Amino acid sequence: MVQESETIWMDGKLVPWGEANVHVLTHALHYGTGVFEGIRAYECNDGTSEVFRLREHMVRLVDSAKILGFAAPYTADEMVEATVETLKANKLKGAYIRPLVFVGAGVMGVHPGDNPIKTCITAWHWGAYLGEDALEKGIRVKVSTYNRHHVNVMMTKSKACGNYVNSVLAKMEAIRDGYAEAILLDTSGHVSEGSGENLFMVKQDVLYTPPLSGVLGGLTRDSIISLANDTGYEVRETTIGRDMLYTADEVFFTGTAAELTPIREIDARVIGEGKAGPVTKLLQTEFFKILKGDNPDYEHWLHRYEA
């Protein structure tokens, strides 16, 4: 269950959590015409707090709306300010943050007409997305029977609400079959991503990850590529077959919610030693140092605030 905060930012003002409502004929509710971001705030070891790559998330949110053909009512900078306002109002030193821009109620039909474009930002306390033990022990995943969207079927570079029905189906299938998460292949049969995560594999100390042409370019993905390069590892963006995953030394997911989560098993094949491998552990440790404000080289990724 979501741990309720006191207020939610809606269309320029803070409203009580229980009053942040929309009409049942909201266009996005029926047709998925909304875009969103997942963002994290962390309490740092020096007592301050930070939101990780906040402005870049908001720029992507505005771009996602543009891809779907409507304009976000607020600029990226205005939503950055609104996010900090929301965190402070709810006294959240660390949080998961969900901004949402969506087509509201008005015309009811596939074409949204001149329906109003609504915006909300919600923040709440949230723990480990895939479980408290997942970051250390790793998770079991399966290759889904569902493919990721073809680039000419959906707008795959927009973080659109409707796109995630594909993710919901894959995730439900994985849970039903006894796994924690799914890996989706693209329509050519190559590895794409998880239901809400990007994927990396390690083979002989080289990192491999699917190219941007076949995945949503995650900001955590981008961060890990930079961190790996700075740490001395080579990263290759290339097509990956599922058989390459089975014989990898290490495999892990990245994402705002998943952070950096090891994968210990895929389709009943144990990956490496069946736990977080040395490269995964190193990157995980260094990544969390950044998130906790302990590496000044990456300070530009942190939007500091005091709750």
Examine the residue annotation and report whether 159 is marked as an active-site residue of this protein: yes
Kindly name the residue from 159, 281, 289, 292 that is annotated as catalytic.
159
DSSP assignments along the chain, one per residue: -----SEEEETTEEEEGGG----TT-HHHHH--EEE--EEEEE-TTS-EEEETHHHHHHHHHHHHHHHT---SS-HHHHHHHHHHHHHHTT-SSEEEEEEEEE-SS--SSS-TTPPEEEEEEEE----TT-TTHHHH-EEEEEEEEEPPPTTTS-TTS-BGGGGHHHHHHHHHHHHTT-SEEEEE-TTS-EEEESS-EEEEEETTEEEE--GGGS---HHHHHHHHHHHHHT-EEEE----HHHHHT-SEEEEEETTTEEEEEEEETTEEPTTSS--HHHHHHHHHHHHHHTT--GGGGGGEEEE--
Catalytic residue numbers read: 159
